[in-house]
A = this chain, B = another copy of it.
Amino acid sequence: MSVTSPDATEGASPTDTRQLLLEAATFVFAEKGFREATIREICQRAGANVAAVNYHFRDKEGLYEAVLTTCRNDHRNPENHLSMDSTVPPAVRLEAYVRWMFRRVLALDREFPLGQILNREMIEPTPALSRIVEVHIRPEARWLASLMRDLLGPSFSREELSRATMSVVGQILFYKHCSSVIHFLDETLMPRRDDFEAHVRHITEFTLAATAGLRARREAESSWTPTAFDSNSPEPFFKSPKVD
C-alpha cells in the first residue's frame, strides 16, 4: 500500500475522515505497535490532520481504543469458530478454532491486523491490555473452555478445564513467541503456507488424543459418577471483568 497524500481527503465528510483515520491507525498500530506508532504517520497515511484525530478520538490512546473496538467485529463473521454452536461436533469445532487462531497468530491474514496487535500486547502490554482481554480474549477463552468441557466431559473442575484450555492455546502461541529460537533450531519447523494444514492437524489430533485419554481415565475411576459434578460451580474464565 502506498502512503496516501496529505490532501487526499479534501472535501471528505467527517465520517469518511474518521473511517480513514481508523483504517490508517489499524495498519500503523499493527505494523509498529502502540508505542512506536505516531499520530503524524497515521495522519499522513489517512490524508488527515492532527486536529481530526483530536476531534474524533481525543488522542493516541483514544484512537488505539477505537481500533480495538472496530477490530472486534472481525470476530463475528459467519465463518468464525465463535459462531459455531454446540450442535457442531467438538472435534470439528476444535479444528476450526486451531486453524483460525493459528492464522491469526502467524498473521497469515493481512486483512486481519488485530492478530498483530494482540501478538504485540502479549509481549509488550500497554494500558489497553485489560480492555483487550475483556473485549477479545475473555469471550474466546470462554468459548474454548466450553469446548474443552464438551471434549472432556462433565467430571473436570474449573481449574482442570482452564489448564486444558491453556494447553491448546500454548501449543499455538509457541510458534509466535519462539519463532526466533525455531529459526536457529530448525527453520523448516516454522509453519509455511504449504505445510500449515499439517500443523493444524497435529495440534488438533494431539489435543483430541489428550482429552479422549484423560476423559476415559477419569470415567474409569470408580469414585466418579456423572451426578457428582456440581453444575453450579463457576465456569472457567467467567470471572467478573476488571475494567469499566
Contacts and interface: CB of A to CB of B under 8 A. Distances in A.
Contact of A181 (B129, B167, B181): B129
A138 interface: yes
A209 B217 contact: yes
A67 to B, nearest CB: 18
A161 B71 CA distance: 37
Nearest to A191: B163
A184 B126 CA distance: 13
Interface stretch (A5-13, A51-59, A73-81, A169-177): A169-177
Interface residues of A, number: 53
A35 interface: no
Nearest to A242: B184
Which are the 5 A-B pairs with shortest beta-carbon distances? A209-B213, A170-B174, A210-B210, A133-B184, A177-B177
A181 B122 contact: yes
Contacts of A209: 209-214, 217
A218 to B, nearest CB: 10
A162 interface: yes
Contact of A180 (B129, B138, B164): B129
A167 B171 contact: yes
Interface string A138-176: 100100000000000000000110111011011111110
A60 interface: no
6 contacts: A125-B180, A166-B182, A185-B239, A186-B237, A209-B209, A210-B210
Main secondary structure of the interface of A (DSSP, over half): helix
A206 interface: yes
Contacts of A122: 177-178, 180-181
A167 B206 contact: yes
Nearest to A186: B239
A211 B176 CA distance: 24
Given A177-B173, A209-B217, A167 B123 contact: no
A124 to B, nearest CB: 9
A199 interface: yes
A207 interface: yes
A130 interface: yes
